[in-house]
Structure formats: structure tokens, C-alpha cells
Structure 1
């Protein structure tokens, strides 16, 4: 009997979390206007790259490591021809590949910050690890 109660509680908790997440996303998603994509020069700007690194370390390093070489993906430094718009889209809208889930950060990270994170990720391409 207690297993049935636990399953009911778990199911109710899961529904409440899904509803809360959906409501928060709906409120936050419309809260900001997208920023026009920056040019290649802006994405190579050392100030943008450093600002993106700081935000990446705070928000993304838990899953991706400090230099994008952790987790269940190809290390960022192995991507030499990444499309900045694709990186921006995945950060903003998330992605699901089987059991691997990249959450959507739209509404939690400003579009301007997403572009700066994108600049940092692009800066890693082809570089050796800093710890080597």
C-alpha cells in the first residue's frame, strides 16, 4: 500500500514540476527581445570572449567543463567550423538527442549574454587545453 502512495505522490510532484516549469517558461520566454546576430569581429572581441567565459563558467561548466571538454559531446575545441547561429540556437532553445538533454536557457540568460557565451565557445576551437 505504501508503494502505491509513494507512486501517487511522485506522480503528483512530477505534474506540479512540469506545470511550474511550463508556466515559468511561458512568462520568461516573452520577456526579452532577441538581439541581432553580431558580426564576426564582435565574436572575436577579447572583451566579449572573456564575458562569455565568465558566464559559461557560472552556468555551463557543471555539464560541459570549464573549457567545453566534459560531458557526452565532442569537445568544443574540436569544432573548427561551428556556425555561431547554431550555437546560439542550442543555448537558447535547448536540444534533445536521445537521453542527452541540453536545457533551453531562453528567459534565464539574456540574448546578449548568449552571444557572448557563443563567442567564448567559438574561441576554444582548435586550441589545446589550458591545463596541458
Structure 2
């Protein structure tokens, strides 16, 4: 009960809700979601540890069709809202044809999130297993080999 009251008061204070309501409306839910996203990004800021790629033939493993396909599915379900279909860009930068990404950089960014100006990518280390995050890395790295990249 207090959470709803506090959210409503906070949203009214910042101008997202003009009047108090007894039932949480869409505005309250959106506000709660935004608050959660900002909180997650703030908490992730102190955990920017770099994680290295799995040992062994990691380059071969990241280039495997199995890893790429699994990463593509996860990307399609969770990342396209900001990064666009097949990484074409949107709210975030274009990911296609980028040959400057390293596996460790991509994994660390997925794991710990990132903030660039007002754009916030939440950390996914508590949502995705390490294996799933490496599958995402494999898929994102595969975007630099699209036919459009060689034109």
C-alpha cells in the first residue's frame, strides 16, 4: 500500500501524473518500471568487473552456428526493442558491421550494463546465465560478417 502511495506521490512530483488515483494506473506502472531500470543501472555502476572469454578454443566456440543461433533467439526476444532487428540500431547504436567489438567488451557490457548520456542499458548478469550471455556475444560478433558489411 505504501509503495503505491509513494510511487504516485513521486510521479505527481515529477509531473507524470496529474491527480492521485486509488488504483494504480498505467502511469504508476510505467513510473515503477522506470524507477526499477534506473535503480538497476545505478547498482550496476559499481560492478564493472571485466570478465574474460571462456578458455580453450573460445574463438571457435563463439563462431559456432549453435552459439550464434541461440544468441540470435535471445537477442530477438530481449534486445531488439533498443538495438533493432538484427542490430540495425534504434534507441542504441547500430551493431551491424562493427569490427571494433571484442568478445570481452561485449560480454562485460551485457553483464554489467552501460550508461551513455540518458540512454541506459540495464545489467543482464542476474537475468541471463553466463552461457546465455556468451551466446549473445557470439550473435553480436556475427553481425560484422553480414553480406551488407562487405559492400
**TM-score after normalising by structure 2:** 0.62
Unaligned regions of 5+ residues in structure 1, if any? none
State the Cα deviation string for residues 6-59 of structure 1 (Å, max 9, x = none).
9971269879x55xx66xx89xx9xxxx89625100000001000000010011
Correspondent of 1:87 among 91, 106, 127: 106
Structure 1 equivalent of residue 64 of structure 2: 45
State the Cα deviation string for residues 77-129 of structure 1 (Å, max 9, x = none).
23113111000011110011111111111111111100000000000114245
Structure 2 equivalent of residue 113 of structure 1: 132
Off by >4 Å, runs of 4+ in structure 1: 5-8, 11-15
RMSD: 3.3
Q: For 1:101 and 1:119, how far apart are their aligned partners in 2?
A: 22
Q: For 2:90 and 2:111, how far apart are their aligned partners in 1?
A: 19
Q: For 2:64 and 2:8, how far apart are their aligned partners in 1?
A: 53
Alignment of 1:1-132 (within 5 A): 9-10=9-10, 17=35, 37=54, 39-128=58-147
Distance 1:89 1:7, change over 3 A: closer
Q: Does the 8 Å contact 2:96/2:144 carry over to 1?
A: yes
**TM-score after normalising by structure 1:** 0.70
Q: Does the 8 Å contact 2:83/2:93 carry over to 1?
A: no
